[in-house]
Structure formats: structure tokens, C-alpha cells
Amino acid sequence: MEILTGNELMSGATVYLDSAGTWVEELQKARVFGKSDLEAKEAAIAATKRTGRINSLEVETVTVKDGRIVPDRLREHIRATGPTAPVFDRQHLDEDGHVSI
Amino acid sequence: MYRYDEFDAAFVRERTQQFSDQVRRRLSGDMSEDQFRPLRLMNGLYLQLHAYMLRIAVPYGTVSSRQMRMLAHIARSYDRGYGHFTTRQNIQFNWPKLRDIPQILADLASVEMHAIQTSGNCIRNITTDQFAGAAADEIIDPRPVAEILRQWSSLHPEFSFLPRKFKIAMTGATTDRAAIRFHDIGLQATTNDLGEIGWQVWVGGGLGRTPMIGKLLSGYVAHEHLLAYLESTLRVYNRYGRRDNKYKARIKILVHEEGIESIREQVEAEFAEVKGGVLTLPQAELDRISAYFAAPQYELVNARSVDVAREKILNPFYGRWLERNLNAHRQPGYVSVTISLKPVGGAPGDATDTQMEVVADLAQRYSFDELRVTHEQNLVLPHVKVTDLPAIYEVLVKNGLADGNAGQITDIICCPGLDFCALANARSIPIAQELTRKFESPERQAEIGDLKIKISGCINACGHHHVGHIGILGVEKKGTELYQITVGGDATEKAAIGDILGHGFVAEEVPNAIERLVNTYIARRESPAEPFIAAYRRLGKEPFKEALYGAN
Ligand code: SF4
């Protein structure tokens, strides 16, 4: 299973594409694409690129465990929550940082 | 210190305005990210895991109080109240927002700083000995020449798109504190048969995926011809350096593949063409630049030294700080003071805005307004009267900056790693934190003596792990962070690349593995006067391999 993630243009904050087509901060709200969602995923990537507002767009593999989205890579855990050492809150979106496709 | 002339000021101002317009066009959608990315990188703006990162150049590691206060202001106003000093003597801010970057650059320009050429395949910030212009063992202050090289290399039209980035380090002292053998070009001051001072030129050193020790390209190049000689070297690299493979594009690979003799031949042929031409440095110009770096107005003082043994009895913390954090100065009665950015449990190289302000105040009051950033991620007050040491120490204590651990096992070089860096494979800061906790005891650190640990979160080796007496490289294997330990690296004039002794360790095992290496050293050293690196050279790998992995 896969999710789409990137960094929002203004703040650089880590964001995820949700089911409503909005780029949001919370990993748990990310839309999970299964094997049969290839077309939808490609369409979402294309639409995201058209906004010009999401950088470093990546497809990340995840596992859904007990209803929770768990990224396969440690890198993604850290991107989702912020640095572990020193501990800092993750970057947040500004008022004008909300992007939809 | 060097001050911008009208040309410098206008150039930086124009670049700031230009980038401000580029940001505006990016935000308005007139420019795509593909178009914008190379422009932002030319201005030191990266996009990392969590946010943008702005890397600001600190030319040859020299910074004034006014400039340090501006860095504090940027940390406080646009970031999260701290900055990270790097192994390239630069500073990075980890949380700026794109809309604030133009103002940050304008603020920087107001104190004669910028972020140009801190990224890209160009000549990067020229680094040097943090004690330049102060060290007792110095032949010459390298900073006037470093400044001339900075001017020559800034937006050099021929060298703005090299096959790969290019790093120059230089030292005017006999002891190499700038790791010059591990740079694309390393310059070491030397004298010729007539006693005239010039430069040894080393080429093809580097760390990263393929660590190499630089090779001697020329034993002596006079000041006046240095620019022509370097231009010739860069030209040969630009012409023949590989552009087909990013991993083979550094000059070290060219030197390795072609051989130093062949490279020397090419450089000499080019040099014969350009020598004596427009790149000849007139003495008057060297004198003009040198005047900016003239020795400060030292006082003639009676107190020439500190009785460290006595101070250690009176106040062991202060005594230890004196013992570890002072460097001999050329001026009697003065020393250079290392301000450690390596507190126990801290992130190596990080300083808060308040700490930056405090250090700026100390520099203004006690060190002729001058500070240095070290490639080992500490700060330095270069010119301090010995009688001022107690007052300085008191201020440092109040601000969490008084660790007396320079050159000891807790004075760790560490890159940002997977907590921040988009290229990382593993975290590095938590490893450094655990190690400082493990070896927290000052007595234990004193018992161990000089020992340099260097940690990188990936093979790019920004944390210089190859040249750590003990190096730690983070890798990722099947989703787990593993740490490869190397032993025997050395960044000084005795340049050596550390040996890999076996498989990697998971994070939890690293502190104990390092302790086993340390215990082996202590058990096997000839005396406490034999440092770790010397003992390793004498004993060889075997005892240390056994310490890590047990007997076969
Ligand atoms: S060594 Fe790797 S992880 Fe560390 S800062 Fe450099 S690129 Fe990033």
C-alpha cells in the first residue's frame, strides 16, 4: 500500500494527500492507495504537480496495522513527527499553506 | 577583519534583490519548482525532511560580534531560536519559511554576509585553521590569501558549473587543524630555500563514498602565482573531470584515475600559459587585503601564563577548562579560547540565539570583536588576555557553554543525520548524545585523553567519520539503522583513513562498543602520554577488532 507525501511550498512542512484531495499535516489522514488504485494515484500525482505547491513529491509504502498507517521507512516516521534529537515539533502549515487538488 | 568594499556590497545587495524577485515569482506561480530549485540552491536554500534549510557562509570561519548578533537575530526572528554550526565552518538554520528568506538575506547583507555558493557545483566556502592569525605555531596568517581566493572564486564565470562541488582548505600553521589533506585542494604555508613564504598545494583529497588522502601537487607556489596555479588546476579539473557519473565527478577520482604525475603535467602546462598574466597577485593588493587582518592592538601584559595545576586544585571544573580549551597564542599573555558546543546530551554544533548573543558580547569585550567557527563545530575567541579568563569562564558557565572538553571523547563532530537531512540513511545526533552521556564523567574523559569521534548519517561523510580516531557511519539495512565503526582515522598532517574492522552495530550497542575500544586502548597504551591514535598505530587493528567482535 502507498501514500503520497511531499513538502508544502511556503513552509516546507511535510504533508500528505488525504481522501478529499487536500494536502494535510496528519499522516493518519493520508489516503491509502492499494494495488487497484493505480489510476487514481497517477491522477492525484498529476493534479498535485499542476498546483505547483507541493515539492519533493514522493510515493511511500506503508502498512495499515489496526487501522493505523505505519510507514515502512524510519525516514517517514521522522518526517511525520519531527526530529527525534533534539526533539522539535514538526513544521506546521501557515494559513496560506493549504493546498487541494 | 575584511570589510566589504563598494563592489562587494553592491554585488550582495543586487543578488539579494534578484533572489527576492525569484521567490516572489515562485510564490505567485510564475516559476515552477524545476526552474526555482537551482536558483534557491545557488543562494544556499535547501529543502530538507521537515522544512527548508538555509546554509550561510562564514568565510574562513571568521565572524565579528556584529555578525554573530545578526545570526542570533535570524535564529530568534525567523527560525526556532538556534543555529547549527557545520564542519565547513558555516551555519545552518533548519526551519525558515520561504517567504522570510528574502528578508533574512537582506539582514545578512546588512552585516556583510550571504549564502551564495554554499551549494552547487562551484567553489564552496574556503575553510581554514580556527586559530589563524593567533596560533603560536603559525608561519603566516592564511586569511588574507583565503579572502583573495574568496573574491577570485565568487561567481567565477568559468568555475560556476564544475563537474562537482569543490572545497578548498588552507592552513598557515605547521599543525594541520583544517584537514587540508581531505579537501579537493589543500594549501599549507611553507618556505622555499630562500626563506620566502609560499604554499604547498595538495590535491584530490576528500571523504564521502570514496575517501582519499590528497596528493602533493606542488611543493611551493609563491603568493603572487597562487591564483594562476589554482586557476590552472581548476581548469584541468573542469576539462577532464567526469560529468557522466556523479559519484566519480570529484577531482579526487580524476587524480586517482589519471595519476598525480599526469595531473601535475597538465596543470604545469596550463600554468606556463597563464603564469605572469592577469592573475598575478600584485604585492600591493596582497598588502591591502592583509591590512584588514592586521594583528589587533594587543596590550603588553605582565601575566604571561595561567597556573593550570593550581586552578585545578582550587576549582577542578575551571582547571579542566583551562587545560583543554586554551590554545597557545603568538602574543605573550594571550591565548585562544575554544567555546565548546558539545554539552553532554546536546546536539553537536548547535547554539541558541542567547548563546550567540553571549558569545558576541564576550568577543566584543575580550577578543577584539572577533570570533571563529571551527570545523569541529565549536566557537573560538581568538585573542584573549590570560587575565580575562576567569571573567569569560564565569559568563560561559552561566550560559551552558563552559564544557572543558575540547579534543576529548565528548567533543564529537556530528552531522544532522536522519533527524533533519534528506540524504541521510540513519540518525547521528542521538548516537552523539548517548556517547556524551556514556563518557560524561570529566575524570573518565581526562583518563582517556585526546580522542576524536566523528559521526555521519550517510556515506556523504559531512561528519568526517573516515578521519575520526573512531568514526561512526550510519547505514540502513532492511529498515534498521546500523552503525559501521572505523578506527584509526586522522584529519591532521598525519592523515589517515579509518579502518573498518567488521560488521555494523545497532544503535543501542554503539556506546558499549565504543567503550570496549576505549578500554582496550587504556589497557594497552604504553603510558597515559600515548594518545589513542598513536596506540592504534603501534598496536594495529587486531586488539581493537577483538574488542569489538571478540576473539576468533
Ligand atoms: S553525512 Fe549524509 S546525513 Fe549527514 S549531513 Fe551529510 S548528507 Fe546528510
Q: What is the pLDDT of residues B123-133, one digit of tens each?
A: 999 999 999 99
Q: Is residue A73 part of a domain?
A: yes
| B195 in contact with chain A, both atoms CB, cutoff 8 A | no
Q: What is the pLDDT of residue B1?
A: 86
Per-residue pLDDT averaged across B520-543, rounded? 98
- C-beta atoms of A7 and B47 within 8 A: yes
Report the topology of domain B6-109: Sulfite Reductase Hemoprotein; domain 2 (3.90.480)
Domain B135-291: CATH superfamily, name plus number: Sulfite Reductase Hemoprotein, domain 1 (3.30.413.10)
Look at A56 and B47 and tell me if their CB atoms are within 8 Å. Answer: yes
| Residue B187, pLDDT score | 98
Residue A101 lies in a domain: no
Ligand 1 atom nearest residue B418's Cα: 3
Phi and psi for B325 in degrees, rounded to 5? -105, 10
* Residue A91 is assigned to a structural domain of this protein: no
With beta carbons under 8 A apart, name residues in chain A contacting B32: 52
Main-chain phi, psi angles of B353, to 5 degrees:
-60, -40
Residue B424 CA, closest ligand 1 atom number: 3
Q: Which of A5, A9, A58 to mutate to test the interface with B (most CBs of B within 10 A)?
A: A9
pLDDT number for residue B5: 87
> Full-prediction pTM beyond 0.90?
yes
Q: Which of B178, B169, B164, B95 is nearest to B135 (CA)?
A: B178
CATH fold of B308-398 reads Sulfite Reductase Hemoprotein; domain 2 (3.90.480)
CB contacts of B99 in chain A (<8 Å) are: 10
Q: For residue range B289-303, list pLDDT tens digits in order.
A: 999 999 999 999 888
Split at pLDDT 50, 70, 90, the class of B479 is confident
Residues of chain B with Cβ-Cβ distance to A55 below 8 Å are 33, 47
Mutate to test the pocket of ligand 1, among B456, B467, B476, B483 (most ligand atoms within 8 A of CB): B456
B552 pLDDT exceeds 80? no
pLDDT tier for residue B305 given thresholds of 50, 70 and 90: confident
User: Which residues 467-506 of chain B have a CB within 8 Å of chain A?
Assistant: 476, 479, 481
Ordered alpha helix ranges (H), A10-82:
38-51, 74-81
Task: Say if A52 falls within a structural domain.
Answer: yes
Under the banding of pLDDT at 50, 70 and 90, the label for residue B205 is very high
Q: Are strands B168-171 and B185-191 parallel, antiparallel or unpaired?
A: parallel
The string over B389-401, giving b where at least 16 C-beta atoms fall within 10 Å of a residue's C-beta and e elsewhere, is: beebbebbeebbb
Query: How many domains are there within chain A?
Result: 1
The alpha carbons of chain A give a radius of gyration, in whole angstroms, of: 13
pLDDT band at B141; cut points 50, 70, 90: very high
Q: What ranges do the domains of chain B cover?
A: 6-109, 135-291, 308-398, 413-549
Query: Least CB-CB distance to A90: which of B33, B50, B350?
Result: B50
Determine the Cα angle at B393 with ends B391 and B397, to 5°: 120
Say if CB B428 and CB B463 are below 8 A apart: yes
Residue at A72 is within a domain:
yes
Distances (CA, A) of B199 to B51, B194, B226, B464: 42, 14, 8, 25
Contact A85 B429 (CB under 8 A): yes
Domains B6-109 and B413-549 share a fold: no
Q: Is B427's CB within 8 Å of A84's CB?
A: yes
Q: Look over chain B and give the mean of its residue pLDDT values, rounded to a whole number.
A: 97
The band of B304, judged by pLDDT with boundaries at 50, 70 and 90, is: confident
> Among residues of chain A, what percentage have pLDDT more than 90?
95
Architecture of the domain whose range is B413-549: 2-Layer Sandwich (3.30)
Separation CA B447–CA B436 (nearest Å): 15
Any domain includes A93: no
- Residue A97 inside a domain? The answer is no
**What percent of chain B lies above the pLDDT cut of 70?**
100
What is the reported pLDDT for A50?
A: 96
pLDDT at B37: 97
- CA-nearest of B484, B487, B486 to B475 is B484
ipTM of this complex > 0.95?
yes
Query: What's the distance, Cα to Cα, between the start and end of chain B in Å?
Result: 57
Average pLDDT on B210-224 reads 97
Residues of chain B with pLDDT > 90, as a percent, come to 97
A28-60 residue pLDDT tens = 999 999 999 999 999 999 999 999 999 999 999
Range B244-269 average pLDDT: 97
Closest ligand 1 atom to Cα of B458: 2
Q: Which residue out of B53, B118, B421, B464 has the highest number of ligand 1 atoms within 8 Å of its CB and is therefore the one to mutate?
A: B421
* Per-residue pLDDT reduced to its tens digit, B355-366: 999 999 999 999
pLDDT number for residue B362 = 98
Three-state secondary structure call for residue B167 = coil
